[in-house]
Amino acid sequence: MNRMWSARAVIVGLQQMAPLLRKELLEAWRDRRALLMAVCFSLMFPAALAGGTIFMVKKQSEDVTRLAVIGAERAPLIAEQLRSPGLDVEALAEGSPRALLAGDYDLVLEVTDDFAERYQDFRAPRLYLYVNSSDTGSGRAQRALQERLGALQQMVVAQRLSARGVAPQLLAPWRLETRDVSTPSSRGALILATVPGLLIMTLFIACLATAVDSSAGERERLSLEPLLVQPLAGWQIITAKTLAVASLGWLGSLLAIGALVLLMPLMPLAEFGIQQATTVAGVVAMGLVLLPLALLVAVLQILLALRSQSFKDAQTQLSILQIAPVVLLMVLDMAQIKLADSWQLLPLIGQQQWLKGLLVGDWVSPLWMLAGSAVTLVLVVMAILVGARALQRESLLSAS
């Protein structure tokens, strides 16, 4: 009976809150600066991600390693066999490796004078490879060369073995067959791992300006007190502000998801062996799981901002404080720590896991999503109650 009454009281309370909510929403959505910031960041990171992958693949596929072979005429077969679509080989009679590396070449291979003779005499002649390891592309260039050189070497070895009547399999006492248990979606998870973190960060950033404005800003503008003398309970004020702030943050992250989903077909994900498997249901679920988180982020930011003395102070504090959880998420992800299922109950970690799964088309347990979202919502309610108490703090009032 009592519980029914209190449920009704909450509903009546929420109805009473309606005009306040309208005020908060109007204020939040009319704040051009905050809106611009939210929209910009929401669109910026998917665009950067798409641009980055496209650029990376383009670079990978178009980059040709330029190799200069000094003394190529001493062993023409080497230069000839190294030549391939990814390896541009220039045969030079002589040259200074240092100067060549400083110029157009990624690698310089030097064939020693007596190379062919020593080779025929089985005296392991030397090839000198000059690299500039401070050059960012040198690693890739070396791999490209090793690959071709390795194939050539293998061919020579095979012919040498054959010439002695030895079956090549004698050199391979067994054959190692690799069996990769990853799926295209788990490979996708590796590359798209930053996306949930960035989505959550979008949420933080899209909420930030409005959260500060509606708490510390309101306080600084001395418009909080008229609100406090209205016949509204503290929880109603905090809830209305939370909803308004979360609406902006949530829409920001929805915008980011939308941009991401739209840009994904443009990203050459298949180049990485990644399936593009985000489903419509997945996108909807991504939006929904972010809603409770948006509320939590909003209310926590409001609580923190209420504590600060000024708008500027709040902005600084929040900027620092919001980096912490996002960094934590990324570290957790990069460290590839295997988390038990029950970790999904924790806000942030839960949402990150679900977003990751939904993004790459993995199955995500709706039960865990519901349970984790419920935990987040409980925390939201608790934070609202804490906020309601905070509104009673006398220090909140302006000094006069």
CA separation, residue 144 to residues 86, 127, 137, 141 (Å):
7, 16, 11, 5
What single-letter amino acid sits at 359?
L
90 SS3 class: strand
What does the binding site for other proteins look like in residue numbers (CB under 8 A)? 16, 18-20, 22-23, 26-27, 30-31, 74-78, 81, 115-116, 119-122, 155-170, 175, 177-184, 218, 221-223, 225-226, 228-233, 269-270, 273-277, 394, 397-398, 400
Contact 158, 165 (CB under 8 A): no
What single-letter amino acid sits at 122?
F
Nearest distance, CB of residue 193 and other proteins, angstroms? 18
Our CB check for other proteins shows the closer of 73 and 341 to be: 73
Nearest distance, CB of residue 179 and other proteins, angstroms? 5
d(CA 87, CA 84): 5
Judged on CB neighbours under 10 Å (0-12, 13-18, 19+), 337 is exposed
Our CB check for other proteins shows the closer of 20 and 349 to be: 20
Our CB check for other proteins shows the closer of 164 and 338 to be: 164
d(CA 300, CA 133): 48
Nearest distance, CB of residue 323 and other proteins, angstroms? 29
Task: From 139, 141, 158, select the one nearest 84 (Cα to Cα).
Answer: 141
Nearest distance, CB of residue 257 and other proteins, angstroms? 20
Nearest distance, CB of residue 97 and other proteins, angstroms? 21
Our CB check for other proteins shows the closer of 19 and 366 to be: 19
Our CB check for other proteins shows the closer of 117 and 135 to be: 117
Nearest distance, CB of residue 363 and other proteins, angstroms? 15
Our CB check for other proteins shows the closer of 76 and 103 to be: 76
Residues listed for the chain: 400
d(CA 109, CA 70): 6
d(CA 351, CA 343): 10
Q: What is the dihedral of CA 282, 384, 233, 306, to 10 degrees?
A: -120
Our CB check for other proteins shows the closer of 66 and 74 to be: 74
User: Distance from first CA to last CA of the chain, Å, rounded?
Assistant: 46
Our CB check for other proteins shows the closer of 136 and 395 to be: 395
Q: What is the dihedral of CA 244, 249, 254, 255, to 10 degrees?
A: 110
Nearest distance, CB of residue 151 and other proteins, angstroms? 10
Nearest distance, CB of residue 230 and other proteins, angstroms? 5
